[in-house]
Structure 1
Amino acid sequence: MYALARNPRKFQARDTRKTRTQKMEIDPLAPDTVEEIFQALRLLEIWTAKARLRADGRCPDDLDDEQLAQLGRELLTCSENRTAGLEVLGENMECSQRKVVILKTRQAHRAYREMLHYYAVKNLLDYLDSHHEANLVSMAQVLSGPRQRQWINVGGQLVSASDLEMLLGRIKSGELDSWDAIHEAYENIWNVYPRAKQKHAFATLLDLLAVKELTPALWQDALAESARIAEYIREQVYISRNKDYENPFRQATFANAEEMRAVIGTIDDNGFVKQTREDTKAFLDRIESAKARV
C-alpha cells in the first residue's frame, strides 16, 4: 500500500523533461491495470472453486469456467471462511512440473476488490469535481456504457484498443500524412482520456457491485467504503514507513535514540507520511461533498 500511494508522486517528481510533449499515465491504478486485476480476480475464483471441488471429492471438469468463477466468487466473498485449508493451485504460472500453491487467496481477492473500488470512486469524484452542477443521476447518464476492456500502453499514454485501431487506420489511409498530424491526433486522444477513464471507472463500479444501476443507496455505500479504504491506506503508509525508524540495524548506527531523532527526525516528521495524511483528509472531504450531491 505504501508503494501504491507513493509511486505517482515519485514518478511525477522524477519527470524532469523540459518539454513534456509525450503524455504519460503515472497512476498505478489506471484502466489497463484495472483490467488485469479483473482477470486476476477471475483466475483466483476459478482456482479456488477447483480447490473446493477437489476437497469435496468432486471433479472440477464437471463445471465450465463461468460456473467455476461464480462458485469461487461466492466462496471468497461470503462472510464465512469456506476456503480455509484449501490447496489452491495456480495454473500455467511457470514452466515446470511442480505445484504452484496460491497463498492467502481470500486476502488477495479482497485486496484486489478494494483496489478496483478505490479506483472507481476516485475517478468518479474527479468527474464530480470538474462538473459542479452534476449529481448522481446526471453523472450516470453521461458515464453509462459498457466497460472498455482493452487498453494499449503507447509509450506511457493509455489508449483504448478501438481508438488505437482508428488512429492506425487514419495513418494507413493517408488521412494523417505527417508526424505533426499524428502527434495532434495523439494529443486529441489524450484530451478525451479523462472522460474515457471516468466512463471506465463507472462501469468498473457497476461490475464490481454486480448491478446494472447505481442507486443512491449503493452510491452512498460505495463512498463510505472508499473512505474506509483511504483511511486504511493512510494507516498502512504509516506502518510501512515506521519500520525504517524501528529497524534495529538502522538504530545501531546511532549512539542512542536521542541522536537518531536529531539526525533523521521521527516518523511524524516524515514528508511522505505528512503528505498522505493531507491527501487522505482532502479525499474524505471530497467524499462528504459527493454525499450531499445525490
Structure 2
Amino acid sequence: MNRIDKKPLAQLGFDFVTENFLKANETEFKHRNTHINQSLYRQLQAREISILEANLNEAENWKDLWVKDGFNPYLVKNCRFFGIVRIGKLESCYLEFKNLRMPVGLYNSTIISSDFGDNVAIDRVNLLSHYQIGNEVMILQVNELATTPTAKFGNGIVKDGEEERIRIWLELGNENGGRKVVPFIGMRPADAFLWTQDREDKELQAGYLNLTKAEFSSERGFYGQIGDRTVIKNTGIIKDVNMGSDAYIKGANKLKNLTIISYPNASTQIGEGCEIVNGIIHEGCRIFYGVKAVRFILEAHSQLKYGARLINSFLGSNSTISCCEVLNSLIFPAHEQHHNNSFLCASIIKGQSNMAAGATLGSNHNSRGADGELQTGRGFWPGLSVALKHNSKFASFNLISKGNYPAEIHNPMPFSLLGNDDQTGGLLIIAGYWFQYNMYAIARNAWKFAARDQRVEKNMLLEFDYLAPDTVSEILQARELFCQWVGDAIGKDAAAGKAWLANPANEHENLAVWATGIENTKRKTRVAKVYRAYQIFGDLLHYHAAKEWVATCDRNPSQKPLDLLHKTMEKATAIQTWDNLGGQLIPSGAVLELKNSIKNSQITRWSQVHDFYETQAKVYPDQKFENALNGLLKVAPESMDNIPAWLNKAVETARFLTAGIEKSREKDYQDPFRLAMFGNAQELEAVVGDLNDNEFIQQSKVSQQIFEEKIKAIQVIR
C-alpha cells in the first residue's frame, strides 16, 4: 500500500530537514543560506501584495515572500507560493536564446521554498521545489523541478540516517562489481583506474573510500542549484540535479541525481528524449536524441548521442559514443564509438581508441559465471564486425581486422594488425603494421587528438604521441619475443634468433615464425614481417631518443645540447615500467609511493592525489627523455660513443616516417576501385581533395624539415 501522509498546508515548504537531523542551534535553512545574502531582500509591501493577488497569485503566507529592490509585482502571474521564497529584480523586458523568447517574470507555476536571481523567466513549471536559481535563467514547461532533503547530486554519498546499501557505486572493469568505485564530482579517469586496481589490498581500498567520504558532508538539506543563464525547456522530470551556468536542457524525459557542470566558455547541453540518472557530467558535454545513461561519469567535452546507452561506465574527455551500448567500462580520453556496436564485455580501454561498426566485444559467454574483462593499451581499433571474447588483453595501437575470434587473446606486441589466417586457419599478426602500411593513420591520429583537445582545464597531462614510455617498454618486450620466436623457428635459442634478425642478408627470407602464448586455443599463431618490424622498432627508438633530445634542448635554450645529454645520462634511471593513469603516463615507482601515502594516511584528500598528477606532469618531459635514452641504449649501447651515427639514423627514420605518411595516403588516390567511383582523376580530386593540398601531409613535411635542422644545429654546437 502506498503511504500517503496528510499534513497542514501551512507546513508545505517547511521541515525540509526534520529536527532529528539538525544539530543544536541549527535550522533547516543552514545550507540554503550559505548561497544567498539575506540582507539584500525585504518583505512585500501591501501594495505589492494587492497587485500579486489581482494577478491570480496565491500564497499560504505573504510574509514568507522576500524580494529585492527592483522587484516588479506585475511580472508575477498565476503562481502559487509555499514556504519561504526569495525573488530578485524583475525588469519589464524579455530574454531570448536560440529563438526562444520569454518575458521576464514568474508565470503559471507552483513554487515551494526556492530562491530566484535577477530577471529570471519562469513559465509553466508544475512543481518547482527547493531550488536556488541564478540570474537570467529561462525555464519553460517543466513537469517537476525538485530537490529532496537527501539529494546527492550524483555523488556516492550516504546521508545521515541512511543505510550504507544505498551508496551509489560504479561497477567498472568487471561486471561482478569486483572493481567498483564510488563516483564523486571531479573524479578523473586516473582516480577511477587506481581504485579499480589492487583489489586484494584492503587497506588501500579503504583509503580510497575514506578519501571520497572526506569530500562531502553527510548532512541533509542541500538545495539544488541552477547557474546563471541556464535554459531549460519542454522537459519532464528534473530531480536532485545541480547545474552550472549556461547549461541548456531541452526536451529531456528525466534527469535525476546528477551534477551537470557547465561554464560560460564550456556549456553543457542535454537534448530530446534523454533519460539520465545517477551521474556526473563535466563541462562542455553534449547529450542528445534518446540517450540512456545510468550510473556513469562523463568527462569534459564528451558526447553521447543517437540512442547511446552508457551504464556503469566512465567515459574520458574528448570522446564520443553514438548509436551503441557500453556497459561496465572505464574508457580513457579520446575514444570514438559510432554506429551500432557494443562493449558488452566489462572493459578498461586506455584511450585514443575507435570502435568500428558491428564490433561486438564479449557478447558470447565463455565461462560459467558472469563475463570477464577486456583490457587494452592506447590506440585500440577493433575493425568492422569484430567479435572478441573475454578475457583478452592487447598492447598499444593494436588494429584487429574483421572476423570472429574464437578464444581469448593476449597480444603484448604494439603496433600490430591481428587477423584470422585463411591459409593456416590460425591467428595472423602483422608486426609493426602501422609503420609499414598505414603510417598516415597513426601519425594523423596522434596529431588529431592533441589538436582536438577542447578541455578548458587541462588537469591531466595526456600523452597522445605514439612513441612514449609505455610503447617504448612494449617495443623492447616485442623485440625480445621476436628473438625468442625466431630462435624457435631456426631450431636454436633466443641469442641465435637475435643474430638472425640483425643479419641484413635475412631481410627477404620467408621464415615462418610462430608465436606462443598469444591465443587460448590449439590453433597456431603466425607472426609476419618479423624481420622488418624488428628493424623498424630499433630505428624508432633511435628516432624517439633524438626527438626527445631536441625537445629538451628547446626547453633549455641556454644550455649546450651535449651538456644536457650527459646530465640526463648521469641521473637517468632505467624506468621501464610505467602506468597509464587516465591518459597520463607516470612511472610505476611513483605510483607505488602514492598508494603507500594513501595507505598510511599521509594523503587524506583527492585534491592531494590530483596535486601528485600535476607534480608528475612537470617532471614528465625530462623523464620521457631519460626513458627514450634508456630505450636507445637497450638496442644500441654504442650510441653514446658514436653520436653522429645515432643522429643520422634518427634523421633517416624521420624521413621514412614522413614518406610513409604520404605513401599510405597516396594509395587512396591510386586504388582502381576508388577511381571507379569517379569519371576521372580530376573528379576524384574535386570530391576528396588534392593530395598535394593535404594539410596534415604538408605539416608533416615541415615538421620533418624542422627536426633535421635542429639535429644539424645539435651536431654543430654540441
TM-score w.r.t. the length of structure 2 is 0.37
Q: 2:610 aligns with which of 160, 172, 183?
A: 183
Determine the structure 2 residue equivalent to 1:21: 459
Give the CA deviation at 1:13: 2.6
Give the CA deviation at 1:189: 1.0
For 2:445 and 2:695, how far apart are their aligned partners in 1?
14
Which stretches in structure 2 are left out of the alignment for 5+ residues? 1-438
1:71–1:136: structure 2 CA closer, same or farther, 3 Å change rule? farther
Task: Give 3-state SS (helix, strand or coil) of 2:624's partner.
Answer: helix
For 1:135 and 1:262, how far apart are their aligned partners in 2?
47
1:262–1:2: structure 2 CA closer, same or farther, 3 Å change rule? closer
Task: Give 3-state SS (helix, strand or coil) of 1:153's partner.
Answer: strand
Q: 1:120 aligns with which of 539, 542, 545?
A: 545
Task: Give 3-state SS (helix, strand or coil) of 1:292's partner.
Answer: helix
Determine the structure 1 residue equivalent to 2:524: 99
Q: Single out whichever of 260-269 and 108-117 deviates more from structure 2.
A: 260-269
Does residue 562 of structure 2 align to residue 136 of structure 1? yes
Task: Give 3-state SS (helix, strand or coil) of 2:505's partner.
Answer: coil
For 1:143 and 1:191, how far apart are their aligned partners in 2?
19
Which residues in structure 2 correspond to 1:21-170 (within 5 Å)?
21-53=459-491, 60=492, 68-81=493-506, 84-132=509-557, 133-144=559-570, 145-170=572-597
Q: 1:248 aligns with which of 672, 681, 695?
A: 672
Quick check: which one's helix share is greater?
Answer: 1
Deviation track 1:144-164 (CA, whole Å, cap 9, x = no partner) reads 333211100011111101100
Contact 1:76 1:109 in 2 (8 A): yes
1:251–1:85: structure 2 CA closer, same or farther, 3 Å change rule? closer
Deviation track 1:24-52 (CA, whole Å, cap 9, x = no partner) reads 11111110111011000000001111211
Determine the structure 1 residue equivalent to 2:443: 5
One-letter code aligned to 1:34? V
One-letter code aligned to 1:89? W
One-letter code aligned to 1:291? Q
1:260–1:98: structure 2 CA closer, same or farther, 3 Å change rule? closer
Percent identity over the alignment is 32
Determine the structure 2 residue equivalent to 1:232: 656
Q: Single out whichever of 101-110 and 78-87 deviates more from structure 2.
A: 78-87
Give the CA deviation at 1:134: 2.1
Task: Give 3-state SS (helix, strand or coil) of 2:506's partner.
Answer: coil
One-letter code aligned to 1:195? D
For 1:264 and 1:82, how far apart are their aligned partners in 2?
37
One-letter code aligned to 1:12? A
1:85–1:234: structure 2 CA closer, same or farther, 3 Å change rule? closer
Determine the structure 1 residue equivalent to 2:699: 275
Does residue 647 of structure 2 align to residue 223 of structure 1? yes
Give the CA deviation at 1:126: 1.2
Give the CA deviation at 1:85: 4.2
TM-score w.r.t. the length of structure 1 is 0.88
Contact 1:7 1:28 in 2 (8 A): no
Give the CA deviation at 1:138: 4.4
For 2:541 and 2:487, how far apart are their aligned partners in 1?
22
Q: Single out whichever of 177-186 and 250-259 deviates more from structure 2.
A: 250-259
Contact 1:143 1:199 in 2 (8 A): yes
Contact 2:472 2:628 in 1 (8 A): no
1:81–1:254: structure 2 CA closer, same or farther, 3 Å change rule? closer
One-letter code aligned to 1:141? K
Contact 1:47 1:90 in 2 (8 A): yes
Deviation track 1:190-228 (CA, whole Å, cap 9, x = no partner) reads 1111111111111122222134x712xx11111111111
Task: Give 3-state SS (helix, strand or coil) of 2:585's partner.
Answer: strand
The number of equivalent residue pairs is 278
Q: Single out whichever of 112-121 and 277-286 deviates more from structure 2.
A: 112-121
One-letter code aligned to 1:114? D
Q: Single out whichever of 251-260 and 219-228 deviates more from structure 2.
A: 251-260
Contact 2:488 2:494 in 1 (8 A): no
Determine the structure 2 residue equivalent to 1:57: none
One-letter code aligned to 1:52? I
Contact 1:75 1:82 in 2 (8 A): no
- Aligned-CA RMSD value: 1.9
One-letter code aligned to 1:101? R
Say which one has the larger Rg.
2
Give the CA deviation at 1:98: 2.2
Give the CA deviation at 1:82: 8.2
Which stretches in structure 1 are left out of the alignment for 5+ residues? 54-59, 61-67
Contact 2:460 2:613 in 1 (8 A): no
One-letter code aligned to 2:496? L
* Greater RCO, CA 8 A, separation 6+: 1
Q: 2:686 aligns with which of 228, 241, 262?
A: 262
One-letter code aligned to 1:22? M
For 2:592 and 2:458, how far apart are their aligned partners in 1?
25
For 2:667 and 2:521, how far apart are their aligned partners in 1?
37
For 1:220 and 1:2, how far apart are their aligned partners in 2?
29
Q: Single out whichever of 85-94 and 243-252 deviates more from structure 2.
A: 243-252
One-letter code aligned to 1:126? A
1:292–1:258: structure 2 CA closer, same or farther, 3 Å change rule? same
1:4–1:116: structure 2 CA closer, same or farther, 3 Å change rule? farther
Give the CA deviation at 1:143: 3.2
For 2:673 and 2:508, how far apart are their aligned partners in 1?
39
Task: Give 3-state SS (helix, strand or coil) of 1:152's partner.
Answer: strand
Does residue 711 of structure 2 align to residue 287 of structure 1? yes
For 1:126 and 1:104, how far apart are their aligned partners in 2?
32
1:252–1:138: structure 2 CA closer, same or farther, 3 Å change rule? closer
Contact 1:143 1:198 in 2 (8 A): no
Contact 2:446 2:466 in 1 (8 A): yes
For 2:507 and 2:615, how far apart are their aligned partners in 1?
50
One-letter code aligned to 1:184? D
For 2:459 and 2:563, how far apart are their aligned partners in 1?
37
